Amino acid sequence: MAPTLNGEVDIVIPTIRSLNFLEDWRPFFEPYHLIIIQDGDPTKEIKVPEGFDYELYNRNDINRILGPKANCISFKDGACRCFGFLVSKKKFIYTIDDDCFVAKDPSGKEIDALAKHLENLTKPSTPYYFNTLYDPYREGADFVRGYPFSLRAGVPTAVSHGLWLNIPDYDAPTQLVKPLDRNTSVGSNRYVDAVLTIPKGTLYPMCAMNLAFNRELIGAAMYFGIMGDGQPLGRYDDMWAGWCTKVVCDHLGYGVKTGLPYLWHSKASNPFVNLKKEYNGLFWQEEMIPFFQSVILPKKCTNAQECYLELAKQAKEKLGPVDPYFNNLADAMVTWIEAWEEFNAPAKVKNGTA
Ligand SMILES: O=c1ccn([C@@H]2O[C@H](COP(=O)(O)OP(=O)(O)O[C@H]3O[C@@H](CO)[C@H](O)[C@H]3O)[C@@H](O)[C@H]2O)c(=O)[nH]1
Ligand SMILES: [Mn+2]
């Protein structure tokens, strides 16, 4: 397992509900700092269970801190979580939803999801050649015969995408036709004990329910878009960020892993409400995904900020004609980078020292 790294990790939680779920995570999260983004009515008082070290932001705080740039942070959508990524100063972010609890592995042991994410993030990835025995860096595992030695050092890992027991991350139509579908019991064959690097050139549907990333490597591209209130789209926040970060990781030579750790997702959001929010996305994803599959980032883009600005330009050009929403989204992507640079300016050098 990875070291605790508690000075280097922030846990970001978007919430419209209660934070009682934190009781379940107490033994695992108490050593860390929480950044809580309270969505919805800012006058509602929200209770953080005793003993946690946290900072809490509501919409009034976001407006006050960002001024006119606050329009790049979504309201009434889990996408508001990316404000936490912006104000964090840590190397790693773990973001989790407020209806997620500690899962058990098939032996009945509680899973320390954050520790497993940190292990994933601090070990390399293998995006250029697939290891058929999964994660070659896992204890007791290795590269199989035929794996080129020149690629065995791997590349830095930027994203660790964890999975879910109980309620799966389905879109509204799938939820509507399979309302009782559960990825349940401990010990069932649906707990897949594996971590995989997603190959270079392959996109995936990233879910933010159980997600960790290296903020220094990819934070600038982990923007969740403008969704929810006043927008024709919701619930595609993590999808958008997943497609953007994957093409940026592929370009910069970073890895993205998916698989372990699992957590327990307890509450299905309402599929009819979700359908209204997702409706346009169900059509637009047929255009968005081919767009990301065809993106080529120029060599001169050498960090996540530069890649992201280029992506905004290409998104406007190619997706703007699909719907004017994408012009606004592309503008918001640029605003996000302006805010990112403001909050993440390199420390000023004074008398030769930083
Ligand atoms: O207006 C809102 C709605 C929700 N939140 C907070 O966001 C997360 C996820 O919300 P929820 O549990 O309702 O959504 P799910 O359908 O179960 O989750 C999937 O949708 C994703 C995309 O939005 C999400 O990451 C997926 O896991 C909770 O913490 C809500 O409290 C919000 O802040 N504002
Ligand atoms: Mn949920």
Which residue's C-alpha comes closest to atom 14 of ligand 1? 269
Instruction: Specify the DSSP class assigned to residue 199.
Output: P
The per-residue pLDDT for range 98-150, each reduced to its tens digit, is: 999 999 999 999 999 999 999 999 999 999 999 999 999 999 999 999 999 99
pLDDT exceeds cutoff 70 at 3:
no
| Ligand that comes closest to the CA of residue 269 | 1
Distance CA 245, CA 134 (A): 22
The token pair that represents 166 in the structure block: 């109980």
Instruction: Specify the DSSP class assigned to residue 219.
Output: G
The token pair that represents 10 in the structure block: 């922030």
How close is the Cα of 121 to the center of ligand 1, in Å?
A: 24
195 DSSP β-pair partners: 259
User: What is the position in ligand 1's atom list of the atom closest to the CA of 239?
Assistant: 22
Probe ligand 1: pick from 11, 13, 16, 213, max atoms within 8 Å of CB? Answer: 16
For residue 34, which phi and psi values (nearest 5 degrees)?
Answer: -105, 140
- For the chain, what percent of residues have pLDDT higher than 90? 91
Give the predicted TM-score (pTM) of the model: 0.96
Q: What is the mean pLDDT of residues 245-272?
A: 95
User: What is the position in ligand 1's atom list of the atom closest to the CA of 208?
Assistant: 25
User: What is the position in ligand 1's atom list of the atom closest to the CA of 234?
Assistant: 23
Pair type for strands 9-15 and 33-38: parallel
How close is the Cα of 118 to the center of ligand 1, in Å?
A: 23
Quote the pLDDT of residue 353.
47
The per-residue pLDDT for range 52-88, each reduced to its tens digit, is: 999 999 999 999 999 999 999 999 999 999 999 999 9
The token pair that represents 212 in the structure block: 């960790």
Query: Is residue 210 within a helix (H) or strand (E), and if so which, with residue range?
Result: strand 210-214
Q: With a cut of 0.85, is the ipTM above it?
A: yes
Quote the pLDDT of residue 267.
77
How close is the Cα of 169 to the center of ligand 2, in Å?
A: 8
Give yes or no for a contact between 125 and 131, defined as CB atoms under 8 angstroms apart: no
Which residue's C-alpha comes closest to atom 16 of ligand 1? 269
How close is the Cα of 265 to the center of ligand 2, in Å?
A: 6
Burial grade of 158 (CB within 10 A; 0-12, 13-18, 19 or more): buried
The per-residue pLDDT for range 311-351, each reduced to its tens digit, is: 999 999 999 999 999 999 999 999 999 999 999 987 766 55
pLDDT averaged over every residue in the chain = 94
User: Rounded to 5 degrees, what angle do the CA atoms 315, 206, 93 make?
Assistant: 100
Quote the pLDDT of residue 346.
79
Dihedral sign for Cα 197, 199, 201, 207, please.
negative
How close is the Cα of 97 to the center of ligand 1, in Å?
A: 6
